[in-house]
Amino acid sequence: MTRLHANTAQSIYRRLLDTYGPQGWWPADSAFEIVVGAVLTQNAAWTNVEYALTHLREADALSPEAILALPDERLGALIRPSGYFNVKARRLKAVCGFLVDAGGIEALRECGTGDLRAALLGVHGIGRETADDIVLYAFHRPVFVIDAYTRRIFERLGLFVGGETYEALRGAFESALGPDVPVYQEYHGLIVEHCKAVCAVRPRCADCSLRYRCPVGRNERA
């Protein structure tokens, strides 16, 4: 059970938006690029993912068919900056095979949100966070993404008690916010930005726009 209620979730969203401005996530030129980026960003900094995407773009390999046609060694070399490149090469080929078999991204847009999410979760290497990145940003469906940054901020705020399942946290946000895709997208981007800017592993509480309601921030000032 979380302590996240509608007024609280919306108040935090507005405070972060006032602090950082619109984030415009996900940065990509196409829905397929979002899919690729969602796989590559697993355990990787986004700056390194951008290098890998640039390599794929320069190799004219940003389509499911082009990635499937690449030898594993060549694909791994192109995405090396994202780390774990051999593992991610296999995952990219799995998701590309899924897309081709399904008739492409446009065909998948006909699927209901639950069916689409379930199908993605059946693909090798696609977990809940990656699937929800794809569903939210590539398909613009109202599915809230839960990542380590979300857990960090909301546990420090005392709104998560810790140990909740992914689905419980996702459901809490979706209940609190309603099915608002643009808000989900911005909120996720703002959470990432806030953790990078101040709510790091060692938080800089004096600079935090949420410190007024944060027990960690209050303790830092004591």
For residue 101, the domain's CATH number is 1.10.340.30
* In contact, 210 and 157? CB cutoff 8 Å: yes
**Model confidence at 76, in pLDDT bands (50, 70, 90)?**
very high
Are residue 89 and residue 132 in the same domain, yes or no?
Answer: yes
104 phi, psi to nearest 5 deg: 100, 170
In this prediction, residues 17-24 reach a mean pLDDT of: 96
Its domain, for residue 96, covers 31-138
Are residue 42 and residue 13 in the same domain, yes or no?
Answer: no
Instruction: Identify whether 44 is part of a domain.
Output: yes
Question: pLDDT by residue (tens digit) across 151-205?
Answer: 999 999 999 998 899 999 999 999 999 999 999 999 999 999 999 999 999 999 9
Are residue 68 and residue 132 in the same domain, yes or no?
Answer: yes
% of the chain with per-residue pLDDT over 70 = 98
Of 113, 138, 163, the position where a domain reaches its end is 138
Instruction: Identify whether 222 is part of a domain.
Output: no
Of 99, 115, 138, the position where a domain reaches its end is 138
Are residue 104 and residue 40 in the same domain, yes or no?
Answer: yes
Is the pLDDT assigned to residue 222 strictly greater than 70? no
Of 138, 172, 191, the position where a domain reaches its end is 138
**Model confidence at 217, in pLDDT bands (50, 70, 90)?**
confident
115 phi, psi to nearest 5 deg: -65, -40
In this prediction, residues 105-128 reach a mean pLDDT of: 97
Is the pLDDT assigned to residue 221 strictly greater than 60? no
Instruction: Identify whether 1 is part of a domain.
Output: no
What radius of gyration, in Å, describes the C-alpha atoms of the chain? Answer: 18
Mean of the per-residue pLDDT values of the chain: 95
Its pTM stands at: 0.94
Q: What is the pLDDT of residue 216?
A: 84
Domain count, the chain: 2
